[in-house]
Structure 1
């Protein structure tokens, strides 16, 4: 089974975990105390840049006669949509900029350029996903209900189709997120009337979004409406693929651990912090790639501090990585290509029944539990999870031991 005792799994005492909380609280306090005009300027400039890029892209699509111009305009539109979706819409909806008290850049008013409703997504994502991150049976984002992502999820015959489902989800990611948000919202609705209202609200948003992209903008293009329609379809497809890659690479590569509901029993704030650190993964990115990913290349930092401004994640990451060194914890990261390869490997192998798999849910690359360490000899005094993982690999493969990539 997945992790049910996070202190045993990490080889940390209760005192260690509380000390880690104190250190993380100090990071939060330092950031919140220093928020100011520099941060406000960042988000306002980001919004202005995104809107200017969107307008320029649409003018290029409409005005260019050459195919190269259409390709350039469509690519620019996909970039603009990705920025709006991730660096703006996702982060504003997390409340990262609510401290500015700007009614136009606030989690309660921002509606993103996606098929789903921001309000419905906020419940499924901000609450269900971020509070119960990677808890099997409670975090609906764990495979999004269509992909088996851990051996703790029982295999079903239709899992054989999940490589195909994965491709379909990637291409239609905004629609999957829209339905995901609706189902989560309906799960907390008290009456049939409330569920019906949620459905109508989503249909209204879909009508407005689809009307803008596939009716209004093409109609404004006159005789060139087909050119604009194709550009909008292609830009939305590219945006969907990019958002899918970023989200999957932050949650499903090796090292992003899963947890049983037992771990939630009497969970302290300190243990919640630790679960966020263990249940997520980063990928290495420069300034441009980080911006294009909504700074979700820092998924560990985002899960620790989802309501802190994304432009601060790079500086926070340096401090979080230092804490991982201090407490002998892995800091799960790698190149974008590597993280996606590991994710694809998990998706494809877990399409098969467990009898075809060599590991178990206690020691598989994509998920593990505290049981994997119980056969180890005595650990060195003060050793933590990173040392334990290295010892487990050395015990299992003494002739082929090499430095674990998860550290």
Structure 2
């Protein structure tokens, strides 16, 4: 996708749009955002307060049950409850509060400037790497560190090296220890290590941030792996409580990693080159980058809550500061704009998105062309519908595919 200011027209998945189309799309999205802002109120505040109350009660109750975890039923109930509580704290509460989604309430207890979460990352470090960098440079190779977390090749344009073969294993390890991986990512540890090899000393600001992160890691480890098991020793449940905490943290790591993979990495989600981004990117162009660089997860209300409503990743990337409980409400309006402007609204059930994301990780661990893509690469929705309509006419279908790919789009693959 090229949106350089000196280009006569857009290319790739938005080649059919004019600059006026893009800016009009931006205005229509602004109107959706303003409508939510104008109607924020008590029902939204009641929602987040209820979620926090449920999460706190579930965590406290689960830790109490684990005091008797020497008995298998208590171990199972406590472990499941604690896992859900940690996921809620991480996804629907911590992530969204620190995005400033609830700052409008002016509640000193539920505000992005004071909230700290049950995670190895510090709130301050996470807000910098996520809110300031990721959401500004979404899916721009070399600028958005969320794009592969600095350990994976995520785009065909990136140079393949033999070390890329190890990225599925690296991604799996990262999934298992995800909260620590994110803490290292927030510190840009890889960049600092490379600088040290060149004889450059980290800045005083970085050293201070590293100390704060290490202190947070120690507090988290002490709480889950020392204090809580020690309390359970009264009932001889110390070892089982330790195991329960390990399982709960592992479960949260795998779940969080999977949700983020679904929102950013499935086949068909666009990545961008910095050279293709206008120096003065308009709001409409920024919106389009968010729209094409995200994917949703379809599912139940429970799934939406457990993902922190990042199952509506498209809506979240377009409107990162709107209350998460409103994403499901505006999703049909956003999808209607995708259809209106001929863009592919990338959504699928979670198992399908996870499989697609992992396929992409594996595919890009090999040289280009070794494995084929499996999904539509943000083809205009009218084209997708057209090709599907002639599925039985092999000759016409092949002609359409050839014409579409000749126009500069990537292969639409087996999904069509």
Question: How far off is 1:210 after superposition?
Answer: 1.0
Say yes or no: does 1:219 pair with 2:230.
Answer: yes
Question: How far off is 1:353 after superposition?
Answer: 2.2
Q: Give 3-state SS (helix, strand or coil) of 2:131's partner.
A: helix
| Cα distance between partner residues in 2 of 1:284 and 1:239 | 20
| Cα distance between partner residues in 2 of 1:114 and 1:302 | 21
Equivalent residue, structure 2, for 1:167: 172
Q: Give 3-state SS (helix, strand or coil) of 1:343's partner.
A: helix
Assess, with a 3 A threshold, how the Cα gap between structure 1 residues 122 and 185 changes in structure 2: closer, same or farther: farther
Equivalent residue, structure 1, for 2:309: 295
Assess, with a 3 A threshold, how the Cα gap between structure 1 residues 44 and 277 changes in structure 2: closer, same or farther: same
| Cα distance between partner residues in 2 of 1:396 and 1:286 | 37
Question: How far off is 1:65 after superposition?
Answer: 4.3
Assess, with a 3 A threshold, how the Cα gap between structure 1 residues 34 and 185 changes in structure 2: closer, same or farther: farther
Question: Where do residues 34-113 of structure 1 align in structure 2 (5 Å cutoff)?
Answer: 34-113=39-118
Question: Where do residues 267-306 of structure 1 align in structure 2 (5 Å cutoff)?
Answer: 267-306=281-320
| Cα distance between partner residues in 2 of 1:240 and 1:155 | 28
Equivalent residue, structure 2, for 1:130: 135
Equivalent residue, structure 2, for 1:14: 19
Equivalent of 1:342 in 331, 334, 356: 356
Conservation of the 8 A alpha-carbon contact between 1:390 and 1:404 = no
Equivalent residue, structure 1, for 2:366: 352
Question: How far off is 1:216 after superposition?
Answer: 1.1
TM-score normalised per structure 1: 0.88
Question: How far off is 1:406 after superposition?
Answer: 7.6
Equivalent residue, structure 2, for 1:243: 256
Conservation of the 8 A alpha-carbon contact between 2:177 and 2:253 = yes
Question: How far off is 1:185 after superposition?
Answer: 12
Say yes or no: does 1:328 pair with 2:342.
Answer: yes
| Cα distance between partner residues in 1 of 2:190 and 2:289 | 25
- Number of aligned residues: 385
Following superposition, which runs of at least 4 residues in structure 1 exceed 6 angstroms of deviation?
A: 184-187, 366-369, 390-397, 400-407
Q: Give 3-state SS (helix, strand or coil) of 1:53's partner.
A: helix
Question: Where do residues 141-160 of structure 1 align in structure 2 (5 Å cutoff)?
Answer: 141-160=146-165
Equivalent of 2:268 in 246, 255, 260: 255
Equivalent residue, structure 2, for 1:116: 121
Question: How far off is 1:350 after superposition?
Answer: 1.2
Conservation of the 8 A alpha-carbon contact between 1:96 and 1:306 = yes
Conservation of the 8 A alpha-carbon contact between 1:258 and 1:368 = no
| Cα distance between partner residues in 2 of 1:144 and 1:42 | 32
Equivalent of 1:192 in 203, 212, 218: 203
| Cα distance between partner residues in 2 of 1:124 and 1:342 | 26
Equivalent of 2:277 in 248, 264, 273: 264
| Cα distance between partner residues in 1 of 2:55 and 2:394 | 51
Conservation of the 8 A alpha-carbon contact between 1:84 and 1:112 = yes
Question: How far off is 1:390 after superposition?
Answer: 6.2
| Cα distance between partner residues in 2 of 1:293 and 1:210 | 24
Conservation of the 8 A alpha-carbon contact between 1:120 and 1:184 = no
Equivalent residue, structure 1, for 2:196: none
State the superposition RMSD in angstroms. Answer: 2.7
Equivalent residue, structure 2, for 1:373: none
Q: Give 3-state SS (helix, strand or coil) of 2:347's partner.
A: coil
Equivalent of 1:314 in 321, 328, 334: 328
Assess, with a 3 A threshold, how the Cα gap between structure 1 residues 84 and 171 changes in structure 2: closer, same or farther: same
Conservation of the 8 A alpha-carbon contact between 2:375 and 2:414 = no
Assess, with a 3 A threshold, how the Cα gap between structure 1 residues 399 and 312 changes in structure 2: closer, same or farther: closer
Equivalent residue, structure 2, for 1:378: none
